[in-house]
Amino acid sequence: DLTQTEKFADFDQEMFEMTLDLTKQICEEHVLGCYQEVDSEGGAQFDKGSVKIPHQYHGIHKIMNEAGLFTMGVSPESGGQGMPYTICMASYEYYSFHMGFMLYPEATAGAAHLIDAFGTDRQKKLYMEKMYAQEWGGTMCLTEADAGSDVGALKTKAVRQPDGTFKISGAKIFITSGENDLFKNMVHPVLARIEGDPVGTKGISIFIVPKYRVKEDGSLGELNDVHCTGIEHKMGLKGSATCSMSFGDNGDCIGELLGEERQGMKIMFQMMNEARLGMGLQGSSTASVSYLHALAYAKERVQGKNIKDMMNPDAQNVPIIQHPDVRRMLMYMKSHAEGLRALVYLCSLCLDKAHASSGDEVDKWSGIMDFLIPVCKSYGTDMGFKVTELGIQCFGGYGFCNDYPMHQFMRDMKIASLYEGTNGIQALDLVARKLGAKNGAVFMNYLAEMNKTFDAYKGDARLADMSKDVKEYIDLMAAMGMYFASCGKEGKFMIPITNAYPFLNMVGCISLAWLHLWMAGVAEEKLQAIYKAKGIDPTDKKAIIALPSEDKEVAFYQGKVFSAEYYIKNVLPTAKSYAEAIKKEDMSLMKINDASFACGENL
């Protein structure tokens, strides 16, 4: 229990529940209503170097900021509440499907955190405080036209000045919130290479570059030769201004070093890891909202007879939730939405445990979190997208129409597998860096946590069968980790590299199965207590099946158990197909000549 630790001793469950109730209320009253409206009105608009964001965002931002929702996880020393990150993620889940809006405050908080972690006291006073207060905005200026995933190829230059500042020159693209009318000033952390520093990532530094220069008393000065040259026209997230930014067109863009020289990549990854966990949350949040819309529609849409009454000419048509194929889609959506949520919360819990622990426990929990970040980002966003696709399918033809937001959920979701490092890069990160971290100790620690759950429930008659299945796949994951290690020793380096993405999906699939078993175990304990309190015999299946119709708590916990059963029996087996394919060591994708990918006169 985090509240039993010194770091979080000032909090209790009542405070957490009040916070979540508040965020839920704000979402229902202010965020949901404008979601489709912003998209249909065209989103952010660019005009002669300026960007106007959707007018609805100004009001939402003010309400959420006044409620303190953007500084929940910020330390009290920096002006926040210092809540556990797990509670922050649970709160933000209500809004993260509307990432077109959330990127404005989230990018700002992320940039402020960089200054909080690496800035001088002066920089914190001048920039960080106003950014945490959401008076000034923030970005991360990383990507260039010829330096996207290959950050080391960037061309933005920093020239040292006699007063210790730097003149910045270069152009960046795909900069979220780079220009807008929400904030009084924008503070851009910009990756650049100091003149004379080595090529590649080792020569990169990071600089604080404000839109308006900031005087020593904190007031705004003159414009800083920073210009927005346009915004992207995107398939989704239309409310978010994705900007092209130009620095130093007139030779007068001043920046100041953040942290130490040539440490830009290290500093940037502080923000990147937070953002990647946020993308996993976007996957969970969007999957959840798509599922809930599909569920509501399936309960009210009447179409066709129940399959049991197909031959009865007098049978009434029924809601489509009674049709097996619709139930299949809903169970897939439900089990993935709940599993992805658990994965995000697990990553957040690891971070909280690392912050609240000491000694070896810090390394253990931070290591597990680092291992899971690429899984959470990649598997979370890919499966989140898959859930939104099924959401459209549940609506039939109406899902393809503008009457409902289902297609927008899918359009907005797609970007999450691309930004903050593509999912292919996440897979390479997992295999090349995280799997063998600390000589494999991190991976073994994660497996040990999974096995603890198996040990807890293997003797429970209600969960023994699911426990056995999950244990089989935990062992499979361990074996595949060892297999990749042996490939490295045998010089077969391309086997792990070419199969990094399937391996990550295998880890994600097995991780969700483990988390489902964990949730089912908790749910079963709750159910047994409820049955006992109601005087119901746990073996009376008829009474137990009927109980959810009259008791929402029972409905919730039984839903958790059935969700786990569905996932473990129907989805988990796909992990074995990943492992079997990997071990075939097929290299056809590397052997094929580039010219053989397509043949024809016009190709």
For residue 9, the model assigns a pLDDT of 95
Same domain flag for 329 and 281: yes
Same domain flag for 246 and 194: yes
Cβ–Cβ under 8 Å, residues 254 and 181: no
- Parent domain of 412: 264-307+314-434
User: pLDDT band for position 270 (50/70/90)?
Assistant: confident
Same domain flag for 64 and 152: no
Same domain flag for 370 and 462: no
Cβ–Cβ under 8 Å, residues 564 and 465: no
CATH number at residue 167: 2.40.110.20
Same domain flag for 257 and 276: no
Same domain flag for 365 and 320: yes
Report the predicted TM-score, pTM, of the whole model to 2 decimal places: 0.95
Return the number of other C-beta atoms located less than 10 Å from residue 468's C-beta: 13
Question: Which is nearest to 173 in space by CA: 275, 271, 264, 245?
Answer: 245
Return the number of other C-beta atoms located less than 10 Å from residue 583's C-beta: 13
Return the number of other C-beta atoms located less than 10 Å from residue 222's C-beta: 9
Same domain flag for 461 and 583: yes
What is residue 317's three-state secondary structure? strand
Pairing of strands 254-257, 204-210: antiparallel
Same domain flag for 250 and 218: yes
Give domain status of residue 103, yes or no: yes
Same domain flag for 494 and 580: yes
- Residue that finishes a domain, picked among 132, 162, 177: 132
Q: How far is CA 397 from CA 236, 306, 393, 407, 469, in A?
A: 20, 21, 8, 11, 38
User: pLDDT band for position 259 (50/70/90)?
Assistant: very high
Give domain status of residue 601, yes or no: no
Q: What is residue 137's DSSP assignment?
A: E
For residue 404, the model assigns a pLDDT of 96
Give domain status of residue 602, yes or no: no
Amino acid letter, 210 = P
CATH number at residue 90: 1.10.540.10
Same domain flag for 7 and 103: yes
The residue behind tokens 């361990």 is 478
The stretch 330-344 carries a mean pLDDT of: 98
Pairing of strands 157-160, 166-176: antiparallel
Give domain status of residue 598, yes or no: no
Percent of the chain whose pLDDT exceeds 90: 93
Active site residue 420: yes
- Residue that finishes a domain, picked among 132, 164, 195: 132
Same domain flag for 487 and 499: yes
Give domain status of residue 540, yes or no: yes
Of the residues 106, 144, 420, 565, only one is catalytic, namely 420
For residue 603, the model assigns a pLDDT of 56
* Strand positions, DSSP E, 164-271: 166-176, 186-194, 204-210, 212-214, 220-223, 226-231, 242-247, 254-257
Q: For 209-253, what is each residue's pLDDT tens digit?
A: 999 999 999 999 999 999 999 999 999 999 999 999 999 999 999
What total of structural domains would you count in the chain?
4
- The set of long-range contacts for 152-157, using a CB threshold of 8 Å and a minimum separation of 24, is 152/199, 152/200, 152/201, 152/204, 154/191, 154/192, 154/193, 154/204, 155/193, 156/190, 156/191, 156/192, 156/193, 156/247, 157/192, 157/193, 157/194, 157/195
- Residue that finishes a domain, picked among 104, 132, 160: 132
Return the number of other C-beta atoms located less than 10 Å from residue 398's C-beta: 14
Same domain flag for 509 and 397: no
